[in-house]
Structures are given as structure tokens and as C-alpha cells.
Amino acid sequence: MKLTINIGHGGEFRAQKQELEQMEKFQRNRKITKLVTKRDLPSQASAEFANICEFVQFSMGIPGRIYDFPTNPAQDEEKFQLNWVKNHSKHIKNHLGKFEYELKDKTISECKILLKQEISSISESLKPPESLPSCDLINNKLRVSLIEQHACEKECQLVGLRCITFNWASAFNSYSWNASMVEIIEKHFFVWSQTQPELNIKKRDKLIAMLEHWVNGRGKGIKKLSWACQSTEELQIHKAKR
């Protein structure tokens, strides 16, 4: 993009120059960030990338075809989740403020245990949203139990997420639903992967970036599908005929 700076008063010129420098710096940093991220990520053809994608699809209870992917969360679900996170956090802070007084004579190790128990108790006491469970789908590519899927669903429910899905067109760092969802999926995948030594996953620093890359790719596919199908009803008819 070509920018033209109008030379007028000195103050206006300096302001325009600063604005131009800031824009160039922002674009340069964004380009560097993208290059570094892409360079460090495993190939989409790698076993590591394939395994985490299979794990997400298993958690959602889908076989992997684009027609079977769950839709974006509804607006009322998004709003509920945002309010849930705020109210949940506020409730815990208020309660722990009172609970802190009871810990003053305890050792550090005792405090950690009691604090963990108290937070768990508070979370259970707050009524979570009604859950929409995923289909129980056996995945022959991964040796992962349905118990893991149900545990993932339970944790999603406790942070206000009614079902395992993504907003396929939104970035994780700017969207509360995706940020919460990917954090849970990534944690459960990493814990499970440590029981599978053949996967050889030692670090988890790239897993979220891999998930974001995968979701963005699926989002483009879903968008193309929505262009091909004129309505949701048509899509449902198409799925029913398969």
C-alpha cells in the first residue's frame, strides 16, 4: 500500500510520520511473527499434527468429514459463556477472600491441598450450563478411551461451554469461546499423549498454534461449504442422504 505524506505544518508532518512508522513497525512485526510460527510448526503431514487433529475430532464425536463438523456456537451460547466466566471468577475471588483467613495457621503444602479442594468445591456448587454431549465415536487410529472424551466435556461444561466446538472463523486470541476450548483440548491431549510413548510428544508449546492452524483450515472448508449449500436445511438433507 502506497502512503502519501502531505507536508504542511511541522506538527502535522511529525504526526503523519509517526503514524507511518508505527504502521510499518506493526506490519513488520506481524510478518515476522507469522514467519516464525509457520517455520516452527510441524508439517501438516507429520504424525504429531495428525494425532492432535484426530484427538479433536474424537472429542467432538465426528468421523472427520467436513459435513459432520459441528456448527459455530449460537449467539446466546457465546453470551452465556462470557457471563459465566465473569460470574464464576467473581464468585471464586469473593469466596477465597474469606477462605484465606482460615489458612493463616496452615503450612504451605496444606494450603495448596485445601485451596485446590475448595476451588473444586466452588466450581461444582455453581450450576453449569446444560451440556450437549458429543457422539460416542470409537476412533481406531488413536488408543484413547471414551472416558477421556467425557472428562473433556465435563471440564468444558464447568467453564460455560455447552458443547465441544469452535467458532471456525475466529482467532483464539480474540475470542473467549475458542480460547477456553483450545486450552482444555490441548491440556487433555498432552496428558493423554504422555501415556503413549510412541507419539514422542515432549513439549506442548506448539500444540495451541497447531490447533489454531487446523481450526482456521477447517473454517475455510466450512465457509466454502456454506457457499455451496444455500441453507441449513439443504445441508441437513445432504447429510441425511449419505
| Cα–Cα separations (whole angstroms), residue 48 to 44, 61, 161, 188 | 8, 20, 27, 15
Whether 216 is in a domain gets the answer yes
Whether 155 is in a domain gets the answer yes
Residue range(s) defining the domain that contains residue 90: 10-241
CA dihedral 66, 145, 161, 75 (to 10 degrees): 20
Whether 21 is in a domain gets the answer yes
Whether 4 is in a domain gets the answer no
Domain count, the chain: 1
Whether 5 is in a domain gets the answer no
pLDDT digits 0-9 by tens, 130-181: 777 787 777 667 778 888 888 988 888 888 888 888 888 776 655 678 888 8
Whether 198 is in a domain gets the answer yes
Whether 110 is in a domain gets the answer yes
Indicate the pTM of the whole model. 0.61
**Amino acid 124: pLDDT:** 66
Coil vs helix vs strand at 65: coil
Q: Kindly state the cell numbers that stand for 85.
A: 466466566
Whether 3 is in a domain gets the answer no
Residues of the chain with pLDDT under 50: 1-10, 31-33, 35-37, 230
Alpha-carbon span 205 to 210, nearest angstrom? 10
